A and B are shown apart, each in its own frame.
Chain A
């Protein structure tokens, strides 16, 4: 960090005291459609902020374009509302320049997986310490209802009156395939779960990728209701918990067992299988994470929700810092005047 930056960030330091969620709300009117899932995500994010122990003025939210990308305007901290798809790239530059900052990206299924897909996968493999929240509503909201890269095949929208012929991305698998070190999925209508996942994401050192199922009640209402609503949720969702067997169902009477590499649903009622036969989740197991994420669109399997993978791997910006440090130790702090006069020179009198 340059001395000018150091001076600036030392200038107004004063103890912040204990903050509340309210301190993280900006003075801007929130302008999402009434009933939009984004409200819950904003509320949960603001709620966990005081517990993270990160000074508010060192946090930055970066976004691209889309409904979700209005997010930074509503957070009372530094923020950039960028251009479509590029939030991850803007955030990467910011984090490299300023590893001291806590950098968050808010993106959507269109912004992050379509126009910004390239930057997302490269961020994930580089593993900068950036928190990526991808609001997945399986539709383009801001442009008024075209299908998105996560919309199901056959989806009828304004741009696909005969049904979409695209096969959808599974964001968790895409993230794992990009060598992400933290991959999770949560839902707008499960505030408690979301808070837990967001806190874990915040604490992870490296890129955290959190897919959040988000209801767009205007253009894709109910897309996730089978997983989010009380009456259907228990039978359609399996919550991943580290070290625990995969059990689900209203009566907690079903489980996931591995048959070879293939997960299958077994009943715990008929005495044939017990919890001991079930797949036990391990957040540190890369191979397992692929199998779990792959359950996503399988019709006979419950939807996996939770943390698929949490690994440690060196962060890009730290490695960059180390190289600079090592070069300085080896060659001494660079001297511009010396450099200009180095190599083959000659004097004319």
Chain B
């Protein structure tokens, strides 16, 4: 055995990249779970092509999974990776740009044969032509080593090829000093009915680990100690899982049945999949014939006294628009989850974007204000969607919950909340016929009574035609129309009395505050803390509530010389803040289907601070 040394690291970013059929997402997820169990803080970014099985070896068929983990707080999946595992030439070509100078490349040599090189557009093998001089390149014939490990098993070449990702995983486990146990357990469970595959994957995983241990090429092993996270019980969770569970928790705490009407769409479908599992929780999931049926069935369910929910992404919201107007008019609870993706039109289905904010706020005919909330991290989806449900029920209104592909598919360790301490959010169904009027409003919230079919004595009709104040009868009276528009707007405004004030991270006044919303949280947070590490001052306010905005937001912004608004769109929150508070915001925009790198925000902050000093 060769002499091995160990080295301690605070944080590392690894990117697994290969063909979309190479199992990179699975490899990344396994590495993530093991890493979470070791107590590291972490953040992940899956990055896969829109095509389900793109042609092998091509640039557009490359699938990647990045994990950033460490013994310190981790807020983003990492601007650049320190290690790139490239299963073929195309994977190297696509991802080389995100590797730090001096970073490590672990290349599967078989993936750099003539055919693969040609498909990736290389005229010469980059592993041989010294073009990778500034990196540490480790050439490993993963395909061959995998085949060797399985040679006595008489498996088809397809099965052998499919297990090679476990070799790569085993090597990385060795390199970062992680045990193989939890993945072995997973293999045993997953392939319980396919003993051959179970055996093959087990052998290959161990072979990969042993290769790291025995081979000469790896001389250093890296140790990344556990992070100092708040004490408590943790699990790893993706944004879409957290959204599904948040909806379930809300329905339970509201004493209502959860009804999901949904049509499959990337990247929201996983919420439908997740909720479909929980029949024993009484969850009703309905895969509707289209987006419109998804939302209208949910509204029908709400009329019947369920918590009606629909999940989708931008193009689906476009189709649901008319129904959102109806929900505004009939004033029933409805929660609409938009897991945003790159637009317009079909856009970039598997890539992330925050460009549906103005659509959420204004994208309807007529004056139709709807409360809008946005989650800031994968785990935060749980609490934010719970809050969306609470508001929908209490204020008898549709609510839009915004997440995005980055949050939905990304994951992070989550301090499991104490379910018993979560608030009861039950509605009170109207049952007393005495003085009942369908549009008689609560004095404080302005919400109308929720009277469900089946309740004797409260029979009434609702609909999309303008309602007469109090009676809810159809009314074309001009004065009444204006009054109802104002009442509906006032109702949504009053939610501001029911939500927490915005909190500033950092000083309450100064040269610069960064105002963000949604999934830019991690990148802003990292950028801000790096700037503070250099002794400079910068504050951060992050918005969960986009409509209504927290009551103190204007006061907060006025105390700063500069307001920087980084967004994965062309400046939508920025427009809103300018319009509402007349503050000259500075926009930092990026619309590449990718999240911000902390560095990009950091540079902008530096630039502003320099200019204002």
List chain A positions with a Cβ less than 8 A from chain B: 1-5, 7-9, 11-14, 16, 26, 28, 55-60, 62, 72-73, 75-84, 86, 89-98, 100-101, 118-119, 122, 320, 323-324, 326-328, 330-334, 336-337, 339-341, 343-349
- Which residues of A are found within 8 Å of B230, using beta-carbon distances? 348
- Which residues of A are found within 8 Å of B363, using beta-carbon distances? none
A46 CB → nearest B CB, Å: 14
B431 to A11, Cβ gap below 8 A?
A: yes
- What's the Cα separation between A345 and B297 when bound, in Å? 36
**Interchain residue pairs A-B with the least CB separation, the first 3:** A81-B463, A93-B297, A334-B281
A8 to B455, Cβ gap below 8 A?
A: yes
**Which of B63-71, B138-146, B412-420, B495-503 interfaces with chain A?**
B412-420
- What's the Cα separation between A348 and B459 when bound, in Å? 55
A340 to B297, Cβ gap below 8 A?
A: no
- Which residues of B are found within 8 Å of A5, using beta-carbon distances? 256-257, 304-306, 429, 452, 454
B480 CB → nearest A CB, Å: 16
Enumerate B215-235 residues with CB–CB distance to A below 8 Å: 226, 229-235
Enumerate B255-311 residues with CB–CB distance to A below 8 Å: 255-257, 259, 261, 278-284, 286, 288-290, 292-293, 296-306, 308
List chain B positions with a Cβ less than 8 A from chain A: 33, 36-37, 39, 182, 226, 229-236, 245, 248-249, 252, 255-257, 259, 261, 278-284, 286, 288-290, 292-293, 296-306, 308, 322-323, 325-326, 330, 416-417, 419-420, 426-427, 429-431, 433, 452-465, 473-474
A4 to B461, Cβ gap below 8 A?
A: no
B282 to A94, Cβ gap below 8 A?
A: no
User: Contact partner of A80 among B235, B283, B463, CB < 8 A?
Assistant: B463
Knowing A57-B454, A333-B280 touch, does A96 contact B465 (C-beta < 8 A)? Answer: no
B280 to A1, Cβ gap below 8 A?
A: no
- Which residues of B are found within 8 Å of A320, using beta-carbon distances? 284
B256 to A93, Cβ gap below 8 A?
A: no
- What's the Cα separation between A95 and B301 when bound, in Å? 7
A344 to B182, Cβ gap below 8 A?
A: yes
Main secondary structure of the interface of B (DSSP, over half): mixed
User: Contact partner of B289 among A7, A57, A122, CB < 8 A?
Assistant: A122
A90 to B457, Cβ gap below 8 A?
A: no
A8 to B293, Cβ gap below 8 A?
A: no
A83 to B462, Cβ gap below 8 A?
A: no
B417 to A93, Cβ gap below 8 A?
A: no
Query: Which residue on B lies nearest to A13, using beta carbons?
Result: B456
- Which residues of B are found within 8 Å of A96, using beta-carbon distances? 259, 284, 286, 297, 301
A340 to B416, Cβ gap below 8 A?
A: yes
A91 to B300, Cβ gap below 8 A?
A: yes
- Which residues of B are found within 8 Å of A93, using beta-carbon distances? 259, 261, 286, 296-301, 304, 308
- Which residues of A are found within 8 Å of B458, using beta-carbon distances? 12, 57
A4 to B299, Cβ gap below 8 A?
A: no
| A-B CB contact pairs (8 Å), 24 listed | A8-B452, A8-B454, A11-B455, A12-B457, A56-B459, A57-B458, A73-B461, A75-B461, A78-B461, A80-B463, A81-B463, A83-B323, A93-B304, A94-B303, A96-B284, A97-B305, A98-B301, A98-B304, A119-B289, A122-B288, A323-B279, A333-B282, A340-B249, A348-B232
- Which residues of A are found within 8 Å of B289, using beta-carbon distances? 89, 118-119, 122
- What's the Cα separation between A346 and B456 when bound, in Å? 51
- Which residues of B are found within 8 Å of A327, using beta-carbon distances? 279-280
B257 to A12, Cβ gap below 8 A?
A: no
User: Contact partner of A86 among B252, B303, B323, B430, CB < 8 A?
Assistant: B323
- What's the Cα separation between A8 and B306 when bound, in Å? 13
Given contacts A11-B431, A93-B296, list 14 more A-B pairs with CB under 8 A. Answer: A4-B305, A8-B305, A9-B452, A12-B431, A57-B456, A72-B463, A79-B462, A93-B286, A96-B284, A96-B286, A96-B297, A98-B301, A345-B235, A346-B39
A334 to B461, Cβ gap below 8 A?
A: no
Of A13, A89, A122, the most chain B CB neighbours within 10 A belong to A89
- Which residues of A are found within 8 Å of B431, using beta-carbon distances? 7-8, 11-12
User: Contact partner of B453 among A3, A101, A324, CB < 8 A?
Assistant: A101
- What's the Cα separation between A343 and B289 when bound, in Å? 33
Knowing A12-B431, A86-B292 touch, does A346 contact B36 (C-beta < 8 A)? Answer: yes
A74 CB → nearest B CB, Å: 9
B300 to A89, Cβ gap below 8 A?
A: yes
- Which residues of B are found within 8 Å of A73, using beta-carbon distances? 461, 463, 474
B282 to A90, Cβ gap below 8 A?
A: no
B400 CB → nearest A CB, Å: 18
A334 to B234, Cβ gap below 8 A?
A: no
A54 CB → nearest B CB, Å: 12
- What's the Cα separation between A62 and B235 when bound, in Å? 45
B279 CB → nearest A CB, Å: 4
Knowing A8-B429, A9-B455, A344-B182 touch, does A92 contact B293 (C-beta < 8 A)? Answer: yes
Knowing A4-B429, A320-B284, A347-B233 touch, does A337 contact B420 (C-beta < 8 A)? Answer: yes
Query: Which residue on B lies nearest to A12, using beta carbons?
Result: B456
A94 to B464, Cβ gap below 8 A?
A: no
Knowing A57-B454, A344-B235 touch, does A83 contact B301 (C-beta < 8 A)? Answer: no
- Which residues of A are found within 8 Å of B36, using beta-carbon distances? 344, 346
- Which residues of B are found within 8 Å of A62, using beta-carbon distances? 300
B84 CB → nearest A CB, Å: 27
A76 to B459, Cβ gap below 8 A?
A: yes
Of B256, B292, B297, the most chain A CB neighbours within 10 A belong to B297
A94 CB → nearest B CB, Å: 4
A324 to B279, Cβ gap below 8 A?
A: yes
Knowing A58-B454, A73-B474, A344-B236 touch, does A337 contact B419 (C-beta < 8 A)? Answer: yes
- What's the Cα separation between A90 and B453 when bound, in Å? 14
- What's the Cα separation between A238 and B39 when bound, in Å? 78
A345 to B293, Cβ gap below 8 A?
A: no
User: Contact partner of A57 among B302, B455, B464, CB < 8 A?
Assistant: B455
- What's the Cα separation between A105 and B344 when bound, in Å? 35
- What's the Cα separation between A60 and B144 when bound, in Å? 67
- Which residues of A are found within 8 Å of B456, using beta-carbon distances? 9, 11-14, 16, 55, 57
- Which residues of A are found within 8 Å of B429, using beta-carbon distances? 4-5, 7-8
- Which residues of A are found within 8 Å of B302, using beta-carbon distances? 97
Knowing A8-B305, A12-B431 touch, does A78 contact B297 (C-beta < 8 A)? Answer: no
A104 CB → nearest B CB, Å: 12
A324 to B280, Cβ gap below 8 A?
A: yes
- Which residues of A are found within 8 Å of B233, using beta-carbon distances? 341, 345-347
